[in-house]
Structure 1
Amino acid sequence: MRLLHTSDWHLGRSFHRVGLLDAQAAFIDHLVSVVRAERVDVVLVAGDVYDRALPSLPAVELFDDALHRLAGLGVPTVMISGNHDSGRRLGVAAGLIDRAGIHLRTDPAGCAAPVVVADEHGEVAFYGLPYLEPALVRDEFGLSRAGHTEVLGAAMERVRADLAGRLAGTRSVVLAHAFVTGGAACDSERDITVGGVAAVPAEVFDGADYVALGHLHGCQTITERVRYSGSPLAYSFSEAEHRKSMWLVDLGADGAVTAERVACPVPRPLARLRGRLDDLLADPAHERHEDSWVEATLTDPHRPHEPMARLRKRFPHALALAFEPERTGEDPLASYAQRLRGRTDQQIAEDFVTHVRGSAPDPRERDVLSDALDAVRAAEVRAEVN
């Protein structure tokens, strides 16, 4: 059975205030053409269909167009909600849409109710695990205190139990939206850290023949059976080195997996330039970036006059400008943000307590901080969903 694995469309998102709807529409055109040309049997969309819980009308119209075109091909599509989506809104009319071959899985309670598709070798059960915010789904899975690993583990226990009751030889595919250990993150993904821990081990998905992941925007292989497709477009300059693509996966009769990448169209290349302004404007090596979207980090000791206006004379699509004057590491003006880079909210909060009080928080205090951060995150999610 041939699968096309994609995710993180983020319909309605812009890139540094540049609208991307035309580029997203071009991706949908490309997706449909690949499904047709490669004789795809099932399309998998692993969450973050929209960029926000309340998407714009043009984004909804593009999504509606994508659904009609996929349904028109007669190819089943399995789609889950991600942490940017409102599961309730995305799942409206899911029962009716299901009849057209578009299977929306947005309710955590239905994670063990698969979409079953058969080929000449038997049945394949597709389990859709929407993004599981621990603070909101603990009760559903009977967990009093849990993070991402525990709720995903509980969901997969239900999946394995359902699979065990099916015909011997039934193959399985799981769609999930999560941060799996070993994955490489970038700046454009919304943080899903809970209690200082966001990553879950790949072993939580043991038993599935293929796991189609969403959330991280870089296409990557965690294991041969566990993969991220990445986003079809770049949504931050941290993705400048990404090669945007989808996975074309062949699932064999025995559950063996072979996969190849299918490139996505690039609306405009990205470039991250660094140096003194005069050097950036004169260096012939940057000629290839003159039609790119450009992020420039200026290292001049003093801020140049009208830097963006001057930069755009050579790079008309320059979008972002940062200043990092050349200084030694001991310079007290060194960026505070650099000192925080790579640290979680939990670590920052604990460091603050240590700095103010002179001693690190004890285990009970760490739990209080963790619970407070979780409560804030849950409140943000509830506000978006409602």
Structure 2
Amino acid sequence: MRLIHTSDWHLGRSFHRVGLLDAQAAFVDHLVEVVRAERVDAVLVSGDVYDRALPAPETVALLSEAVTRLIDAGAQVVLSSGNHDSAIRLGFAAELLERAGLHIRTGLSSIGRPVMVGDVAVHPLPYLEPSVAADRLGAGERTHAAVLGAAMERVRADLAGRGGRSVVMAHAFVTGGATSESERDISVGGVSAVHPSTFDGVDYVALGHLHGRQQVDDGQRYSGSPVPLSFSEVNHTKGSWLVELDPAGVEVSAVEAPVHKPLAVLRGTLEELLADPRHAGAEKAWCQVTLTDSVRPLGAMDRLRERFPDTLVLQFDPQGVRELPTPYAAAVRQRDDLDLCCDFLAHVRGGNPPTEAERTLLGSAVEGSRRDRARHDDEGQTDARDARSGAA
């Protein structure tokens, strides 16, 4: 049985205001060819199919085209929701689509019910927001580890009476994984890290959320995003995993994706960068440039784009002079939502930071916003199921 493990498509994402839809469409073309050439039985997409809860029409059209072509090429397609997806929107018409070979799992009620690919039981676990999922799954704590542990109890209960090979799809931060700048933090509201032992007892764990392709433990891998989503991924090799399961064991091999547009991170003085022949490869790349001139050159971006036309980010780090204050955009880049709210409150009050009580109140508001969105999606699915049951 052959599976392709991929994740974090983030359809509709922009790269420093440059749309990625063409690059994502090229990846779909590649994936269809791999399915045909390798006779793949199923394509697994472990969350963050879309980049936002309300995807644009052209983004939805690309996903529709992708799943249709993959199924026509001979593979079933299994999608699970990630923290960027709206569970109820992604899960629309899931029961009907399953008849055509498209299996979409976004709700708690589907946990423990596998997608059978031949004799391999594939258990897709949607992203589980602890504050919403903990009570319904009977988890002891409101943490990612606890809710995934409770979900895995349902998975193991199914596997105990089934036998055969098994695969779990999960969207989470598993201990040992290397992060990049483009992932959205999922730690607010509970401990985010999940130990690899949480998934003990299955043959392969197809992970999503981290954007670098990597192995974190025996049989547990992240496929990473198929296209770069930040300049921190300049050294990533993008692609997916080809997973072959047979009675003898599990064999995993890397499948590299086509490079739609390379990335380049350049650093030096303006004159050095414009003259150095070693940077010839960057002339056709998306570039992030840091200038080290002691005095900021006039017209720096225009001059850079004469040689590097796709320069998207220009930063300054003057050398040989006193350190300048960090630009606001750079200062907030690594700040979480709560810190940004506190910074804003301090700014409008003339520099007076929030008290501990005010910080606690802001933290509750930030967490409440996340929780309400997750609960809305899950309740929407529950209402839809109840309506169908009543109609029957």
On whether the aligned pair clears a TM of 0.5, the verdict is yes
3-state SS in 2 of match to 1:170:
coil
Q: If the length of structure 2 is used for normalisation, what is the TM-score?
A: 0.86
> Within the alignment, does 1:257 sit opposite 2:230 as a pair?
no
Distance 1:17 1:339, change over 3 A: closer
Task: Deviation per CA, 1:160-189: give whole Å up to 9, x if none.
Answer: 1111122xx421100011111111111111
Unmatched runs of 5 consecutive residues or more in structure 2: 346-351, 381-392
Cα distance between partner residues in 2 of 1:217 and 1:290: 25
Letter in 1 for 2:302: A
1:248 corresponds to:
242
Letter in 1 for 2:222: Y
Cα distance between partner residues in 2 of 1:117 and 1:304: 60
Task: Deviation per CA, 1:46-85: give whole Å up to 9, x if none.
Answer: 1111111111111111111112112223322211011111
Distance 1:165 1:367, change over 3 A: farther
2:284 corresponds to:
291
Deviation at 1:45, TM superposition (A): 0.8
**Residues 192-271 of structure 1: pairs in structure 2 closer than 5 A:** 192-195=186-189, 197-254=191-248, 256-271=249-264
**Residues 306-345 of structure 1: pairs in structure 2 closer than 5 A:** 306-326=299-319, 331=323, 333=325
Deviation at 1:143, TM superposition (A): 3.9
CA contact (8 A) 1:180 1:199 kept: yes
Cα distance between partner residues in 2 of 1:128 and 1:276: 50
2:151 corresponds to:
155
2:383 corresponds to:
none
CA contact (8 A) 1:147 1:194 kept: no
Cα distance between partner residues in 2 of 1:185 and 1:26: 25
CA contact (8 A) 2:130 2:190 kept: no
2:267 corresponds to:
274
Distance 1:271 1:136, change over 3 A: same
Cα distance between partner residues in 1 of 2:365 and 2:373: 13
Letter in 1 for 2:187: T
2:2 corresponds to:
2
Letter in 1 for 2:146: E
1:301 corresponds to:
294
3-state SS in 2 of match to 1:288:
helix
CA contact (8 A) 1:196 1:347 kept: no
What is the RMSD computed on CA atoms of the aligned residues?
3.1
Question: Which residue of 111, 123, 138 maps to 2:134?
Answer: 138
More helix, by proportion: 2
Cα distance between partner residues in 1 of 2:263 and 2:314: 14
CA contact (8 A) 1:80 1:106 kept: yes
3-state SS in 1 of match to 2:148:
helix
CA contact (8 A) 2:292 2:316 kept: yes
**Residues 63-212 of structure 1: pairs in structure 2 closer than 5 A:** 63-118=63-118, 123-143=119-139, 145-166=141-162, 169-195=163-189, 197-212=191-206
3-state SS in 1 of match to 2:290:
strand
Task: Deviation per CA, 1:279-314: give whole Å up to 9, x if none.
Answer: 211222111211111011122223221211111001
2:348 corresponds to:
none
Size of the aligned set, in residue pairs, is 374
CA contact (8 A) 1:224 1:257 kept: no
Cα distance between partner residues in 2 of 1:196 and 1:127: 24
Letter in 1 for 2:318: P
Deviation at 1:319, TM superposition (A): 0.9
Task: Deviation per CA, 1:323-356: give whole Å up to 9, x if none.
Answer: 222268x947367888888787789999x9xxx9
Task: Deviation per CA, 1:81-114: give whole Å up to 9, x if none.
Answer: 1111111111101111100111111112211110
Task: Deviation per CA, 1:139-175: give whole Å up to 9, x if none.
Answer: 3213474111111111111111111122xx4211000
Distance 1:144 1:336, change over 3 A: farther
Distance 1:162 1:384, change over 3 A: closer
Letter in 2 for 1:34: V
3-state SS in 2 of match to 1:49:
coil
3-state SS in 2 of match to 1:155:
helix
Unmatched runs of 5 consecutive residues or more in structure 1: none
Letter in 2 for 1:132: L
3-state SS in 2 of match to 1:173:
strand
